[in-house]
Structure 1
Amino acid sequence: MLYAVFILAAIVVVGGAIYLNQFGDVISKKSSLNGAMVGTFLIAGATSLPELTTSITAVYIDNPDIAVGNMLGSNVFNLLILAIVDIIYRRRRLFQNVNHQGNIPSALIGLVFLGIIIASLIIPESVNIFGVGLEMFIIVALYFITVKFITKGDSDELEDTSSNDLSLNKAVVGFIISAIVVFVAGSLLSISGDQLAVATGMNASFVGSFLIAASTSLPEFVTVLAAFKLANYNMAIGSILGSNLFNIQLLALTDALYRKGPILSAVDSSHVFIAILGFVMTIVMIYLLIRPAKSMSQLRYTTPSFLIAVLYLVVSYVLF
């Protein structure tokens, strides 16, 4: 029964998140809030809402392992999505057909964030301010500095390429309804995942980092596939790297809501392996972005993506 509830909640979360993304896209293009920054935050918030609701519920039921594992695991799974898509569509040479300079800054700051989190997980006692880890304040400050740096000089207007005839009012109503659905289903996903860990004896960090994280990251998978269908490779990579940065900010929010001290000090030590996995995968991703575009065999081209997939499978097996 627990498995059925978990799977049903995951399906509803994915469906709701897909509609959130669609309605959010319409709102960003048809309202006065159509600046590049607002559109980016709106879509990022829409696709990341499943992670947020799931982690908030995990905090409420006092399971910080699922809360942290969900965020870190989602980031790792997002990078796995890019690797899998790159392997499947290897003939298109994804990483040789993108604006490398536009995506490298996001990957680098993501690497810095993970480095800070790894250090915080390794250090036994974290310095805290009002019960929130000092590392979270640093991460949030760096995020806003980075966003200002990356978007400096960008146009405030987004090109309206949407062929969606949905009105703005209907999009707003649909967005709100979808958000409520995702909130309820995401909460159920956390609760059932917590009970599943207890009933089966599985490690709560494994449940959060892999089972729940994979479920809440499926909307990003759909987004990447849609971008590939449009041959918009920059959108495919940018949406994943941007979502990862946004997820880390949600982790800071989760820490603020967890009132028993810094949340990274309250979780199982196994989370450091997920963070290190994300760190290594991000390094490989940066290599793919800086690797010069030149003629090479398909095997040589896809080797880094295969490495990401293998690392993910090995770490998940070890933690399981």
Structure 2
Amino acid sequence: MIETLSTPALLGLFVLCACAVVAGGTAMTGLADRLADRTGLGEALVGGVLLGAATSLSGTVVSLTAALDGRASLAFSNGIGGIAAQTAFLALADLIYRKANLEHAAADLANVFQGTVLMLLLTLPLLALTAPPVTVAGMHPVSVVIVLVYIVGLRASHEVRQAPMWMPVRTDATRPDTAEDAAPDGRSTPALVSRFGALMLVMGLAGWGIAKTTGVAIDRFGLSASVAGALVTAVITSLPELVTTLVAIRQGALQLAIGGIIGGNTFDTLFLTLSDAGYRDGSIYHAVGQQDVFWLVIGLLLTVILVIGQLFRQRHGPAGIGLESLAVLAVYVGAVVLQATLPDPG
């Protein structure tokens, strides 16, 4: 049993799982780019759906496992904290892409649209938090609405890509989504899908290990579940998004980079539905604390800033990055400082 492991062994297992998450996420990037071109769906949509969901799998398992163990705060803050961390990762990626502001170069309507869907999804938990703690079969009705909105959003994103009602203005700094981004690959599409599925299995097992080891550490050392979720498990399970974003940018797949982050964040809202289903002591939205709600608001604020940046499309900004990237980094760092220094009101 994990509970009986010594502290060094516990830390070693946690690090091993974290490395598996990073390695799996790295391998997924190239596969997702090739599948985007093979299927003809494009980088933004495949990044937002396939890559975003797959690289979020470890985080999904963390939240569900924590909820099943009755750890509402850890389950909630892990998903919401991951949204904030992944958005900050995109700002870091802007620092690396030196040709122009990343949001300018990777202009794509599908990513903008998914960003607005994400904002809608993040308002639903706030609605649940302020609504009565009603449950149906142990779940709050908002948890079902989140899934419905996610599904409708995916379909609408596909339609937006297939028949856009407006297009971003092309400039000499805009990097279009082209099939040439992917290197030639002699493997068949089923072989690529099979390898992708195997990597997803590794990510899921690693997520379970991270959830279990973190839960033991919380009990053993008296850690704040909210801090552990938002600043430890959320960041660790979000590392695939950082890796895939950096690799995608290096490969020139800019739409995939942004789409992977936004899509991963959109998928992460489903953590709340799974957590609510796994948490058996009522509505999970009414079992969390103020610090957890704080990260929900931070995630929504960062998403708003990101979408505004995509619409404004500043070509160059201070330090060679967009103003929205600076704002995202400032908000996230400020949030981390507040979370780490303020006492836990719960």
Query: Amino acid of the residue matched to residue 280 of structure 1?
Result: L
Sequence identity (%): 25
Name the CA distance, whole Å, in 2 between partners of 1:169 and 1:232: 22
Name the CA distance, whole Å, in 2 between partners of 1:11 and 1:63: 24
- Does the 8 Å CA contact 1:126/1:134 hold for their aligned counterparts? no
Q: Which moved more, 1:159-168 or 1:80-89?
A: 159-168
- Does the 8 Å CA contact 2:103/2:313 hold for their aligned counterparts? no
Indicate which of 233, 253, 263 corresponds to 2:254: 233
What SS is found at the alignment partner of 1:128? coil
- Does the 8 Å CA contact 2:62/2:211 hold for their aligned counterparts? yes
Query: Amino acid of the residue matched to residue 328 of structure 2?
Result: I
Match of 2:209 in 1: 188
Indicate which of 284, 287, 290 corresponds to 2:305: 284
Name the CA distance, whole Å, in 2 between partners of 1:120 and 1:251: 11
Determine if the alignment matches structure 1 residue 264 to structure 2 residue 285: yes
Query: Amino acid of the residue matched to residue 152 of structure 1?
Result: E
Indicate which of 6, 13, 36 corresponds to 2:41: 36
CA shift at 1:55, angstroms? 1.6
What SS is found at the alignment partner of 1:92? coil
1:290-305 equivalences under 5 Å are: 290-293=311-314, 297-299=317-319, 302-305=322-325
Q: Which moved more, 1:124-133 or 1:63-72?
A: 124-133
Structure 1: segments with no counterpart, 5+ residues: none
- Alignment length (residue pairs): 314
Match of 1:252 in 2: 273
Name the CA distance, whole Å, in 2 between partners of 1:304 and 1:41: 24
Pair 197,151 (structure 1): closer, same or farther in 2 beyond 3 Å = same
Superimposed CA distance per residue, residues 30-84 of structure 1 (whole angstroms, 9 cap, x where no aligned partner) = 6xxx473995644333212111122222123221222211111111111001111
Determine if the alignment matches structure 1 residue 115 to structure 2 residue 127: no
Match of 1:52 in 2: 60
Q: TM-score, normalised by structure 2?
A: 0.80
Q: TM-score, normalised by structure 1?
A: 0.86
Name the CA distance, whole Å, in 2 between partners of 1:65 and 1:214: 16
RMSD: 2.9
Determine if the alignment matches structure 1 residue 308 to structure 2 residue 319: no
Indicate which of 127, 146, 149 corresponds to 2:153: 146
Indicate which of 71, 77, 93 corresponds to 1:63: 71
Indicate which of 271, 275, 280 corresponds to 2:296: 275
What SS is found at the alignment partner of 2:56? helix
Pair 10,154 (structure 1): closer, same or farther in 2 beyond 3 Å = same
What SS is found at the alignment partner of 2:269? helix
Superimposed CA distance per residue, residues 147-204 of structure 1 (whole angstroms, 9 cap, x where no aligned partner) = 2222116459x95845223345654553444333222221110111112222332211
Name the CA distance, whole Å, in 2 between partners of 1:153 and 1:302: 26
Structure 2: segments with no counterpart, 5+ residues: 1-7, 164-177, 341-346
